Structure 1
């Protein structure tokens, strides 16, 4: 159940929806995330009251179609699987919005089961009465 934040220049709802769906489809295809596990914050920046700043880091020239995708998920995926995810996100974003892959910046932040609460003030993946993983009596 990854949590995704997508920031893009422009506030076109159709583009934001296409970006969100592209990322969700990439997560489903590459990581096996259940399709209904969609938790996203999509933010369009108008360039005046809010904007994005970017440079040409590593020689990858960005332009006004830049998209920042931040994925937070539980730890455990291999580097190869993450690389596959990055390629799939960039490919689907390009296919569905015309955004050049060089303009798709993806970051992954990993955490553990206790770092998630889906409501009711509970850590559903790590209940308080359960023994912490890796310990034994």
Structure 2
């Protein structure tokens, strides 16, 4: 059950935000073994001054259109799966939204399965 948080600059259209969420969801289902309908996303817009980041880091130069994607998910994916996942998101961002590849920052937060509840106060994944 990945929980996705996408943070971006205020002013993008509803369609842009929806497409961005769908890009991430499609990559999750295609590449990191996330089942269909396992979709939980919060997409939040921020004023320019509320996104505080370096101008550049590790050879990337960020614009005002930087997008921060943080995904909390169960541990267990290989490094190769993660690399393919990151690349798919950036490739589709470029293709579908004409975005700059430098402007996508992705962070995965891995957790144990017992750290989830999908309702009723039950830890459905706990064994």
Q: TM-score band, normalised by the shorter chain?
A: over 0.9
Question: Where in structure 1 do 4 or more consecutive aligned residues deviate above 3 Å?
Answer: none
Q: 1:91 Cα deviation (Å)?
A: 1.0
C-alpha distance in 2 between matches for 1:26 and 1:17: 14
Q: 1:44 Cα deviation (Å)?
A: 1.3
Tell me the residue number matched to 2:99.
Answer: 99
Tell me the residue number matched to 2:19.
Answer: 18
Whose Rg is larger? Answer: 1
After TM superposition, the structure 1 = structure 2 runs for residues 118-133 of structure 1, keeping only pairs within 5 Å, are 118-126=118-126, 130=127
**Cα-to-partner distance string for 1:72-131 (whole Å, 9 max, x where unaligned):** 1000001111111110111111212111111100000000111100011110001xxx4x
Gaps of 5+ in 2: none
Q: Is the 8 A contact 2:48 2:64 kept in 1?
A: no
> Is 1:47 matched with 2:56?
no
> Is 1:89 matched with 2:103?
no
- Give TM-score scaled by structure 2 length: 0.92
Tell me the residue number matched to 1:4.
Answer: 4
> Hey, which of these two has a bigger chunk of strand by percent?
2
Tell me the residue number matched to 2:57.
Answer: 57
C-alpha distance in 2 between matches for 1:34 and 1:18: 19
